[in-house]
Structure 1
Amino acid sequence: MNGIKPKLLIFINTLQSGGAERVVSLLLEHLRSDFEIHLALYTNIVDYKIPPEVKILDLNQPLNQNRFLRFLKIPGQSYKVYSYCKKNNINISVAFLYRPCYINALMKSLWRYKGKVIMCERTHQTTMQQSHSAIYRMFTKFMVRFSYKRADLVLANSYAMQTDLIENFRIKTPVKVIYNPIDLGFIRSHIDEKPAFVFEKDTFYFINVGGFRKEKNHLLLLQAFFIMKNLPCKLLIVGGGIMEEGLKQKVSDFGMRDKVVFCGWDNNPFMYVNRSNCFVLSSDVEGFPNVLIEALACGKPVISTDCSSGPRELLAPSTDLHHRAINNYEIGEYGILTPVNDVIALAAAMKRMYEDAALRKQFEEKAKGRAEQFDVDEIKQYFHVAFTAL
């Protein structure tokens, strides 16, 4: 292109702490030498660093508002994004998460945007919708089909998610898989920083990192840890969210205030993970959980619910990806998988990890090598090709 960088718009709700947000922050940093990048934010909340040359379009919308009102605003917001792209000659628009995807779709269908539209799905939609009403599921299914039909390309971050979109939503647009990247360089340079929390000798530390949202099922983790509370173990939880007070009340109800530590949000959770003994993910549904890869990058053994989607592909990649752990935990090549929402199985897996030093060592020896396969320097080439090959 005669030295002229292609112009790229990346659109996401916020850059608040989260998996998709961390991926976008990495793409901003690692693709800026190849693209002129513009960033559209539904709500201007930023927890990650934005390179100074990245231009920002702020839609200035409240993140949480009535769903009906939010839907009514989408056509107007799509026109704002369309006008911005037209004014700045942007020919590639990439949306992360469902709200930006809907807006991108209307930009294409209502305003006849001529550029390439790419949708990045980060959630296993079928599983996510199961907890909602029939009307909500029907509406969401329609919107997913409507949006993705207007995309030039859909990017999923797991093969389970790709299968879900094709089989359950009948998506005809090409759906390609690109796994989430992690920044190994950042992790390695921050892992030895000293946290405020003092780790005690002769105490085994389980740790969880993530936002306090319903689908993360922190209650399951607390219930499983309750079964083990008389062992010399503690549970660290790094994160925050609207459910925090309720979870703290559960800890108090369970009589575990001296055993469970809420560390709050921290842009460097790796210093906590590095000093812990085992990482535990208790989610009901995921896309492709960055926190598991990051825990592996810290050299830690991991336990995860065998939820849709991601954990099995990451921890037991040679198994049937349609299989799910049932009734008992399963030892994979890179970690332990447990049935979703099974307190007894999760507690048994945690107890096994606590007692079995040989198994922990086996996982520790493989952990960093597995994580290296997801380093941003390895993954970014696939995004580059996807953004320019259409």
Structure 2
Amino acid sequence: MTNLSKTISFFLPNFNCGGVQRLVLNLSYSLSQQKNQIDLVLIRSVGSFMSQIPPSVNLVDLKKPRLRQAIQVLGQYLREKNPDALFSFMSYNDPISVLAKSLYHVKTKIILGLHSDLSQQKTPPFLQHPLAHLGLTPDQPKLLMQWFYPWANAVVAPSYGVANNLAQMAKFPLEKIRVIYNPVITPEIFEKQQQMIQHPWFEIDQPPVILGVGRLIPHKDFFTLIRAFAKVKEQISCRLVILGEGEMRRELEKLVQALNLTHDVDLLGFTDNPYAYMKQAKVFVLSSNCEGFGNVLVEAMTCGTPVVSTDCHSGPREILNHGKYGHLVPVGDAGKMAQAIVEVLTGNSKKFDINWLNQFTLDTVTQKYIDLLN
């Protein structure tokens, strides 16, 4: 792998549990191992992934400035440190990155990346900012993208679906968007999946466990997974475990109670080792109504677990090779999801070629980012 020996910065709002944070965590580690200086620049130095930042990565805390202050503080950082490149992977940080470079006249390459499918995410009206309809807010940044993306040195997307969506929203040439899959498969997965699980449902001779992993937020749609599980349980003795924490916990618990599933569904909260659960589960299910990529599908497949996923825009179909390596079901369809889960539990899972997963390894993806920087 080519050695860059560069200073590379990653700019994020925080380091909470999320796909983008996991991407940055993995890339930071891999690039720092090649003697590159890595700065993790956070608007707020908080989040459940803070404890996992490698010692080789330098943490820069901007201490929660407002928008105008963030531009100033980031610009001062860029002028002082003058990194070779700054990656911004979240839409609400992108304008700050572009403006900071422009106003402070630095040579740092700004690389923007949209890692979610904004066209499919629906923000409830009561949560929307008054300027949302103008495309001037983080949840609806259409106009902001059209203004600022042309000023980036490079634009990255984690899937071809996101690239197409980004090109349409930002009116940005599709051929100028570099698609680089997320670096999901790391040595850590192989180590952690071997750890023991201290949970009675995973002991020998227990009913099979269906697993879901993700933040308890609307677009992960664990409601459909729970309803599908209720239908599966009518046919097969089984249990459901969901790993993750978030704002929808109470509503999900209410649904579990309403369906009389309190003894068969366990919302275990966040864990820094979901891989041991993936290894022991009989089927992994992604129930999202939209995804930028779908890291957890790759993680489950790496653990050797059959998968069922919604055919949501835009990552799962690409990861599962158009359904060849896992069951794809319509978004929000608990009945079809239940049928697919039953198929797997009765021995009709879809096998996948282990070589297919090579494109999602940390080494492969890191080299693609090195090529981009060069």
TM-score by length of 2: 0.90
Instruction: Determine the structure 2 residue equivalent to 1:89.
Output: 82
From 180, 188, 202, the counterpart of 1:178: 180
Please say if 1:42 is aligned against 2:43. yes
Instruction: Determine the structure 2 residue equivalent to 1:344.
Output: 335
- 1:246 shift after superposition: 1.9
Sort the Cα spacing of 1:197 and 1:370 in 2 relative to 1 into closer, same or farther, 3 A. Answer: farther
Residues 132-141 or 157-166, more deviating: 132-141
Please say if 1:385 is aligned against 2:371. yes
Query: Equivalents in 1 of 2:357, 2:238: separation in Å?
Result: 26
Query: Equivalents in 2 of 1:268, 1:121: separation in Å?
Result: 26
Residues 98-107 or 213-222, more deviating: 98-107
Query: Equivalents in 1 of 2:307, 2:27: separation in Å?
Result: 26
- 1:29 shift after superposition: 0.6
Query: Equivalents in 2 of 1:204, 1:261: separation in Å?
Result: 14
- 1:160 shift after superposition: 0.8
Query: Equivalents in 1 of 2:221, 2:251: separation in Å?
Result: 12
Residue-by-residue CA offset, 1:184-214 (whole Å, 9 max, x unaligned): 3111111111112121425121100111111
Q: Tell me, what secondary structure is at the counterpart of 2:40?
A: strand
One-letter amino acid matched to 1:5: S
Matches within 5 A, 1:1-390: 5-32=5-32, 33-48=34-49, 49-61=52-64, 73-129=66-122, 136-139=132-135, 140-172=141-173, 174-198=176-200, 199-200=202-203, 201-230=205-234, 231-317=236-322, 332-355=323-346, 357=347, 359-360=348-349, 362-363=350-351, 366=352, 368-386=354-372, 388-389=373-374
Whether the 8 Å CA contact 1:191–1:274 is kept in 2: the answer is yes
Query: Equivalents in 1 of 2:182, 2:23: separation in Å?
Result: 7
Q: Tell me, what secondary structure is at the counterpart of 1:128?
A: coil
Query: Equivalents in 1 of 2:179, 2:224: separation in Å?
Result: 30
Query: Equivalents in 2 of 1:55, 1:188: separation in Å?
Result: 27
Query: Equivalents in 1 of 2:40, 2:108: separation in Å?
Result: 16
One-letter amino acid matched to 1:147: F
- 1:172 shift after superposition: 3.9
One-letter amino acid matched to 1:119: L
- 1:91 shift after superposition: 3.0
Instruction: Determine the structure 1 residue equivalent to 2:138.
Output: none
Residue-by-residue CA offset, 1:22-43 (whole Å, 9 max, x unaligned): 1101111100124211111122
TM-score by length of 1: 0.86
- 1:278 shift after superposition: 0.4
One-letter amino acid matched to 2:25: S
Query: Equivalents in 1 of 2:279, 2:264: separation in Å?
Result: 19
Residues 125-134 or 235-244, more deviating: 125-134
Residues 77-86 or 39-48, more deviating: 39-48
Query: Equivalents in 2 of 1:135, 1:129: separation in Å?
Result: 15
Query: Equivalents in 2 of 1:19, 1:40: separation in Å?
Result: 17
One-letter amino acid matched to 2:134: M
Q: Tell me, what secondary structure is at the counterpart of 1:5?
A: coil
Query: Equivalents in 2 of 1:89, 1:149: separation in Å?
Result: 22
Query: Equivalents in 2 of 1:229, 1:147: separation in Å?
Result: 50
Q: Tell me, what secondary structure is at the counterpart of 2:92?
A: helix
Which ranges of structure 2 fall in alignment gaps of 5 or more residues?
Answer: 136-140
Sort the Cα spacing of 1:223 and 1:367 in 2 relative to 1 into closer, same or farther, 3 A. Answer: farther
- 1:137 shift after superposition: 4.5
Query: Equivalents in 2 of 1:261, 1:124: separation in Å?
Result: 29
Residues 209-218 or 89-98, more deviating: 89-98
Whether the 8 Å CA contact 1:149–1:172 is kept in 2: the answer is no
Which ranges of structure 1 fall in alignment gaps of 5 or more residues?
Answer: 63-72, 318-331
- 1:114 shift after superposition: 2.9
Please, what is the CA RMSD of the aligned residues?
A: 2.1
- 1:301 shift after superposition: 0.8
Residues 48-57 or 142-151, more deviating: 48-57
Q: Tell me, what secondary structure is at the counterpart of 2:212?
A: strand
Whether the 8 Å CA contact 1:130–1:137 is kept in 2: the answer is no
